[in-house]
A and B are shown apart, each in its own frame.
Chain A
Amino acid sequence: MTDGKLPLRAKVATSVSKTAAALSRAAGRGDGSVIGGWIGLKIDPDLLAHLAGGRAIALISGTNGKTTTTRLATAALEVMGRVATNSFGANMPTGHTSALAKAGSTPFAVLEVDEHYLARVIDATEPRVVAMLNLSRDQLDRAKEVSMMAQMWRDALIGHPDVRVVANADDPMVVWAAQGSGHVTWFSAGQRWHDDSWVCPQSGDPIERAGGDWWCTGCPLRRPNPQWRVEDEGVVDPRGDWHLVKLQLPGTVNLGNAATALAVAAEFGVRPIEALPRLATVASVAGRYAQVDRDGRNVRLLLAKNPASWLEAFDMAERAPTLLSINARDPDGLDTSWLYDVDFAPLRDRPVLITGDRAYDLAVRLEVNAVPFRHVKSFEEAIQAVPPGRLEVIANYTAFQDIRAELDRVL
C-alpha cells in the first residue's frame, strides 16, 4: 500500500517509528528495528495490520532455519518486485512493524516470525502464505511444549482458512499443525532430529520411522507425499522436474531451506528457473556461514543454538579442523545439560578445538562421547593452533556473537 492510503494515526506512527529507528542506529544501539517498531505500535496498536495491508505476504516460522529461509525466499520473490523483509532476525511484531515501515510501499513482504508469535502475526498481516519449517526443543523448552506449540499453530490456521501453507512433511509436529489448513503444499527437506516427535500429537501413540517415512501406530496421521523434495544436489518441483541448486550456503540443511524458499515463491507465481540464480547470490545470513580469511586460515562461522541445529551444523561443516565454542549466558540458557542431547560422534574424524565460557562442560561431554579435543583459551589461540586452510567454527548464540565481534575488530 502507499503511504497516502494509511490512516492518519498510522502515518504518524510510521513516521515516528522510522525516526526512532534512525536515532537508535545513530546512537549505536543496534539496527533500530525493535525500538522503532515498539514506539510505532504504542502510537497505533494496529500499525502492523495497516502496514501489511495491500502487500502480498509470506511468513516463515519454525525452530530452526527461519532466518536463512526468509533470506532465500526474499531473494526468490525479488524476481517479482520489491520485497520488504526483517533480514536481521528481529522476528517479533515490533521487528515486523519496523521492517515494513522502513521498506515503505512494496508489493511483497517476507517476514521471519518467532514461532510463539505466529498466530498473532497471521491475525495482523493476513498473509498469502505461511511456511512451517520444524518444531523442536529450544533452550529450556520441553517436548511437551513442542506439542503445545504445534497446537497453537494448528488453531491459528483453523481461524484463517484462506491462508496457503507450505509445510515440512518430515516433521510429524508440523504436519499435524499444518493440517489445520485446507491448502497445504508439502516439502521434504529431511529431518535429523527426532527426539521431540516420538509421540503422536494427535493420538498420543508412538510414532514409527523407516527410511524417510513415518507414521503413527495408533491413528491415521502419517507422512504426506511431498510436492517439493531435495534430491542429490538439487530440488524436485511438483511437476517432477529436477533443478540443480547452486548455493553459497553449505550443507543439505540449506538445500532444504532452498527447497522451502522455492515452494514459497511458487505460491506467488515465481518459477524455480527464475528464482535459482537469485538463491545463488546469498553468501551469508546475519553473519552465519560468513567466511573470513585471517592469517591464511579460512574461517567459517556456523551458529548452533539447540540440539537439532547442532546436528545440522555437523552436516554443514567440512571435514576440517573445527572449533566449538559454548557459553551459558542468559540468551543461551544458563543450563548446559542439553550437551548430552547432542551426539558429537560425527566430529571424531577431524581435529576438534574447544573454547568458550563453558568449555569444561563441553570437554567432559566430548570425553564421554569419545571425541578427542584440545582446549584453547581464545579464538585467537584457535587460529594459531590449526594449519592454514579451512577452520570451521560452531558456536551457540553469545559465543557466536563474541567471535563475530572479535573478527570485526580485526578487519
Chain B
Amino acid sequence: MSSESTLRIVWIYPDLLSTYGDRGNMLILTRRAAMRGIPAEAYEIRSDQPMPSSADIYLIGGGEDGPQALAAQRLIADGGLHRAVNQGAAVLAICAGYQLFGHSFFAKGSKCPGLGLLDLHSDRGETRAVGELRGDIDPRLGLPPLTGFENHGGRTHLGPGVSPLARVTAGIGNDTQTEGAWHGKILGTYSHGPALARNPAIADLLLRWAIGADSLSPVDDTWPDRLRSERLAAAGA
C-alpha cells in the first residue's frame, strides 16, 4: 500500500468497459477491506479523465469491440496505468479488459495494439464461449477453484512471460485448456462481470498484494461459499 493509510481502488473507464455488473468487483473489494478494518476508497475514472498512477488496486471490466479498442488507445496514450503497474499496483482485468492487457487483440475485424502488460495475445475463436466456467487455479497462488460465467468470442494465447491463472475443468477460457493469466500482481480472467462475487479468495489475494500481508482475518463467507458450491456443481453437470 502506498504511503497514505487508505487503500485506493480504481475502476478503469466504467463509461466504456462495464457491460454487465462489473461494478460488483469494486463493491466487493471495498466491502472486504472494510470488514478487516482497512479503510478503502474507490474511484471511478472515466475515459475523459487522466488515469491516476498512485492507486493500489486497478479494476478493468468487459465491453464491446468499439469501446475495448477505444479504451486501449486511451490507456496507451495516457500512460498512467503503465506507471501504476511498474510501481507494483495490483490489477484484476476481466474479459475485454483482460485481452487489452496483452500485446494485441481483435476488435471489429482488425488487430489492435494492447497495453503489453501481460505476455499474451488474443484473436477470434470459431464459436462464442458462453456459459459456466470452472478451473483449478495455479497452486502457487494457493486459491480454491475458479468459478465464473464466460461470454466472449476471443481465444487467448499465452507467452512465456505469464502463467495460466487456471487449468480449465469446464467451459472454454483461453482455449479450452487454460483460463486467464497472471504475472506479478496482475490477474486476468474470462470470468466476466462481478467475478469476485463467486471468488472471494481472489478479492482477498488482491487485498493482500495491495497491503503486503500474508494473510487477512477470516470473514463470514457463508453465502459466497454456498454460491460457489452450487455453481461449481452446476458447471460439472
Contacts and interface: CB of A to CB of B under 8 A. Distances in A.
B197 A140 contact: no
Contacts of A338: 20-21
Contacts of B66: 144
Contact of A360 (B28, B192, B230): B230
Interface string B20-49: 111110011001000000000000000010
B137 to A, nearest CB: 19
Interface in B172-206: 192-194, 197-198
B64 A144 contact: yes
A188 to B, nearest CB: 26
A398 B27 CA distance: 28
B48 A335 contact: no
Most-contacted residue by chain A among B28, B151, B223, B227 (CB, 10 A): B223
Contacts of A367: 223
B71 to A, nearest CB: 13
A340 B48 CA distance: 24
Most-contacted residue by chain B among A143, A338, A341, A364 (CB, 10 A): A364
A27 interface: no
Given A361-B197, A368-B31, A337 B24 contact: yes
A341 B21 contact: yes
A29 B67 CA distance: 44
A13 to B, nearest CB: 38
A99 to B, nearest CB: 34
By size class, the interface of chain B is: 20 to 34
Contacts, number: 68
B149 interface: yes
Contacts of B22: 340
A118 B23 CA distance: 32
A351 to B, nearest CB: 18
Contacts of A335: 20, 149, 151, 192-193
A360 B193 contact: no
Nearest to B200: A364
A144 B67 contact: yes
A364 B197 contact: yes
Nearest to A144: B64
Contacts of B67: 144
Given A144-B66, A335-B20, A364 B224 contact: yes
Contacts of B224: 364
A173 to B, nearest CB: 16
B15 A199 contact: yes
B52 to A, nearest CB: 20
Nearest to A366: B223
Contacts of A340: 21-24, 27, 193-194, 197
Interface of B: 15, 19-24, 27-28, 31, 48, 64, 66-67, 130-131, 149, 151, 192-194, 197-198, 223-224, 226-227, 230
The 9 closest A-B pairs by CB, nearest first: A337-B193, A340-B24, A337-B21, A340-B21, A360-B227, A363-B223, A337-B20, A340-B194, A144-B64
8 contacts: A198-B15, A334-B130, A340-B22, A340-B27, A340-B193, A360-B226, A364-B197, A368-B197
